[in-house]
Structure 1
Amino acid sequence: MLVAPQTSGTALAAPGPLTWSDEFNGPAGGAPDPSKWSYDIGGGGWGNNEQQYYTNSRSNSALDGNGNMVITARRENPANYNCHYGRCQYTSARLLTNGKFTQAYGRFEARIKVPRGQGIWPAFWMLGNDLGSVGWPNSGEIDIMENIGREPSTVHGTLHGPGYSGGAGITSSYTLPGGRRLADDFHVYTVDWAPDSITWYIDGIQYGRKTPADLRGNRWVFDHPFFMILNVAVGGHWPGYPDGTTQFPQQMTIDYVRVYAHQNNGGGGGNAIVGYANKCIDVPGGNSVDGARLQLWTCNGTAAQQWTAPGDGTLRALGKCMDVAWGSSANGAAIQLANCSGNPAQQFVLSAAGDLVNPQANKCVDVSAWNSADGTPLQLWECNGGANQKWRRA
């Protein structure tokens, strides 16, 4: 494992606008909000020879009535909890936002009190939303917080990707001073994710920062939306296994999870594309779903309006590309967001005259019906020099 030297004293900058949160308010024993969280269920070792079986039972994940969500790992071996190597010895929970919320870039933060004990492995982390199509580690993994019981004072933040996964992950760590233990109190665990860097903090103290230059020539795959995961594992190759000193049940208590838009402060992010009525090209609701119809909207500095130009002819926001729907060259074809594919429908040139042209169609990005209202959809149209086809970088 590559462990970076600790860095401290760098204060958190102001984040962008809040885009998603869960404050876990609700009655004791209530389920996590099903509009925000789903469950991984099973006990196949999870690639690390772990010993827990993940359930959706309230005994393993529930609100506590005090504004927290609690994940509880228990020692139990019900007959119906089978693992690939035999009977699971423990139950726990693994909650995720996959299919409910994803975001590329921004601040991801949670206030958590971790459990304790040999073999206990709490984590707050993220996986790429293309996991199902490209697999792990090509999808990328950002570990915001990991702690293992035998290191009670140390938090780890790690990147996994092709050529730097598992024990070869690119890692930073921070150890609380004075022998304090993470499990004794709540701490705020944060990553700031920009197109060219990922930075880790605990309680506002920076302890790690990674850029593509740190990947030893391997591919930077942190350029598309990710979903979040909260879980408590028991055992596994890295933390080792519970022993006679480990007490159960063990609980991870989460006060909140909050996500903010990427704030472009000159650190390698994108720029707004400003046009008709001094409004910006915008992804509706900041939702990076394929096919999102791009629109005109009052400029607000959010990630939904930050467009990067990586030099391959594409314009990208929220980890996806500006695209002409179905590769059409017809007047009125929708301008949308889509997975970057290298298709000519995703090539755009901003001319010196302010025309944003798709060369394949030799037509311009146009504000429909000369309408300057927020939410007016963008379309492809013959270039005519109109004000509704003029754009500039801001």
Structure 2
Amino acid sequence: MAVHRSRRWSFGGLALLVSAGLASAVLINTSDAATNRANAATVTTTTTFSDDFDGAAGSAPDSAKWSLETGGSGNGNHELEYYTNSTSNAALDGKGDLVVTARKNTDSGLQCWYGTCQYTSARLNTAKTFTQKYGHFESRIKVPKGQGVWPAFWMLGDDLGSVGWPGSGEIDVMENVGYEPGTVHGTIHGPGYSGAGGLGAAYTLPNGTSFADDFHTFAVDWSPSAITWSVDGQTYETRTPADAGSNKWVFDHPFDIILNFAVGGDWPGNPDSSTSFPQTMTVDYVHVTTSDSGSTSGSTGGSTGGTTRTGAIKGIGGMCVDVAGGSSDDGTPIQLHNCTGNDAQKWTLGSDGTVRALGKCLDVKAASHDDGAVVQLYTCNGTSAQQWTYTSAKDLTNTGADKCLDAKDNSSADGTRLQIWTCSGNANQKWTVG
């Protein structure tokens, strides 16, 4: 985990700040299998917050959704930037993105904790406009690059002004520091586990790839019992109240969303001669969703599901659902295989109705509704071919076709291809998760 800052709240923002998340993943019903399948078709995912940053190039972020903080306090981390409310630091690009830009400062009147500010940047929050307890929080972001840059997508508790930090809680969905171009960190902070002692983990891209090279999707699923982090749909960390030990688990009240681009500070260190400016953090969207199988609370109301499930999916003969060859290519077959515990057999049943492995979704080929239509791994696209419900009868039902995941020919042989088929209650359609 990252050994980093003592706190990330801003002194000027104490009166604001709240956010949320969720770890809804699967619908568990208590009625019979037929009723479960009927209910599956009525399960809905509710969007409680959405900004796709559509608007004219150069326009400011939507003030009905975002507040722009200002100041150069260093935010408890000895950061070097002065946060402004200017469109020179936060503006839409006219292509459906928010661009947060860090620049070298040319205004001698801007004063930071160390003197005349060296850089300007932006920090946005939803504390005045949107807060929520539990949910799925997701953003697609292309991060900046260079020594000393520190972009983040994170959340703070709505009781910050009354209990302070870290008692209010903090959920860091994504942080990246420039000297680790291929790594992001997901962390929680609370009383007794904050700053360098925060509970977290890192996710590193394969093959030396840098996060600044392209957009990536960062998300948390947050429920009363767990917080789960993912990158591009691939789960890499889960934290539960047990991880806090004897300390208080403070993730039981509304939080708000924060996007910011810090420059310098105790964790990333300061920019050096190799760092070019301006640098940009480009945000494609921020979405928050809940499902209707449970309850949530927040300024927008709504509802949420239970707990995200991550692990092996086992079927007939105790065999595991497996991505053939461990390939993440679109169209890779899904099969039964001896259980090995590798990433090709680690699935996440998400609050958005998807079933994911290796950063992609379980998909019915060609969105077919026919018996015998094969399932495959495919880039997540939000279609009904990728919507699934897991029932108390242990059916894994594709809600688009209203048919069950099925092991072909009732076989438990290694390499048996998986398909959809009219739900029959047979052993080759029964699955256990985790």
Alpha-carbon displacement from aligned partner over 1:118-143 (angstroms, at most 9, x marks no partner): 00000000000111111111000000
Q: Corresponding residue for 1:30?
A: 59
Alignment partners' CA distance in 1, 2:90 and 2:292: 33
Q: Please list the CA deviations of residues 230-284 of structure 1 after superposition, one character each: whole Å capped at 9, or x if unmatched.
A: 00000000001100100100000000000011565xxxxx57xxxxxxxxxxx8x
Which residue does the alignment assign to 1:119?
A: 148
Q: Residue 296 of structure 1 aligns with which residue?
A: none
User: How far apart are the structure 2 equivalents of 1:16 and 1:193?
Assistant: 15
CA contact (8 A) 2:254 2:298 kept: no
* C-alpha distance after superposition, 1:165-205 (max 9, x if no partner): 11111011110000000000000000000011100000000
After superposition, residues 1-394 of structure 1 pair within 5 angstroms as: 1=1, 13=25, 16-261=45-290, 264=293, 270=294, 287-288=298-299, 302-303=303-304
Partner of 1:380: none
Aligned residue identity for 1:165: S
What is the CA–CA distance in structure 1 between the aligned matches of 2:187 and 2:270, rounded to whole Å? Answer: 21
Q: Deviations over 1:339-385 (max 9, x none)?
A: xxxxxxxxxxxxxxxxxxxxxxxxxxxxxxxxxxxxxxxxxxxxxxx
Native 8 Å contact 1:193 1:262 kept in 2 = no
Aligned equivalents of 1:33, 1:134: Cα separation in 2: 29
Secondary structure of the corresponding residue to residue 214 of structure 1: helix
Shift of 1:288: 3.7
Q: CA RMSD in A?
A: 2.2
SS of equivalent to 2:156: strand
Identity of aligned residues (%): 60
Counterpart AA for 2:142: K
Q: CA deviation at 1:60?
A: 0.1
Distance 2:118 2:146 in 1: 16
Q: Calculate the TM-score normalised by the size of structure 2.
A: 0.59
CA displacement at 1:88 relative to structure 2: 1.3
Write the letter of the residue equivalent to 1:93: A
In the aligned structure 2, how far is the partner of 1:80 from the partner of 1:193?
42
Instruction: Call closer, same or farther: CA 1:84–1:159 in 2, change over 3 Å.
Output: same
Q: CA shift at 1:77, angstroms?
A: 4.2
Unaligned runs of 5+ in 2: 4-23, 27-43, 307-434
Q: Check conservation: 1:50, 1:233, Cα contact below 8 A.
A: yes
Aligned in 2, Cα 1:76/1:153: closer, same or farther, shift over 3 Å? Answer: same
Letter in 1 for 2:87: R
1:370 maps to: none
Q: Letter of the aligned partner of 1:143 in structure 2?
A: D
Q: Output one character per residue of 1:287-328: Cα deviation in whole Å (capped at 9) or x when no partner.
A: 548xx9xxxxxxxx923x99xxxxxxxxxxxxxxxxxxxxxx
> Aligned equivalents of 1:2 and 1:67: distance in 2?
32
Is residue 2–residue 202 contact of structure 2 (8 Å, CA) maintained in 1?
no
CA distance in 1, matches of 2:25, 2:121: 35
CA gap of 1:138–1:263, structure 2 versus 1, over 3 A, is farther
Contact 1:116–1:250 under 8 Å retained in 2 = yes
Shift of 1:156: 0.3
Secondary structure at 1:183's aligned position in 2?
Answer: helix
**Higher RCO (CA 8 Å, separation ≥ 6 residues):** 2
SS at match of 1:261: strand
Contact 1:114 1:182 in 2 (8 A): yes
Q: Given that residues 197 and 212 in structure 1 are in contact (C-alpha distance below 8 angstroms), is that contact kept between their aligned partners in structure 2?
A: yes
Q: Structure 1 regions of 5+ residues with no counterpart?
A: 4-11, 265-269, 272-282, 293-300, 307-394
* TM-score, normalised by the number of residues in structure 1: 0.65
Please report how far the alpha carbon of residue 17 of structure 1 lies from its aligned counterpart in structure 2 after TM superposition.
1.6
Separation (CA, whole Å) in 1 of partners of 2:100 and 2:253: 28
Answer whether contact 1:107 1:262 (CA < 8 A) is retained.
no
Structure 1 residue runs of 4 or more that deviate by more than 4 Å after TM superposition: 12-15
CA distance in 1, matches of 2:81, 2:165: 21
Q: Distance in 2 between matches of 1:126 and 1:166?
A: 15
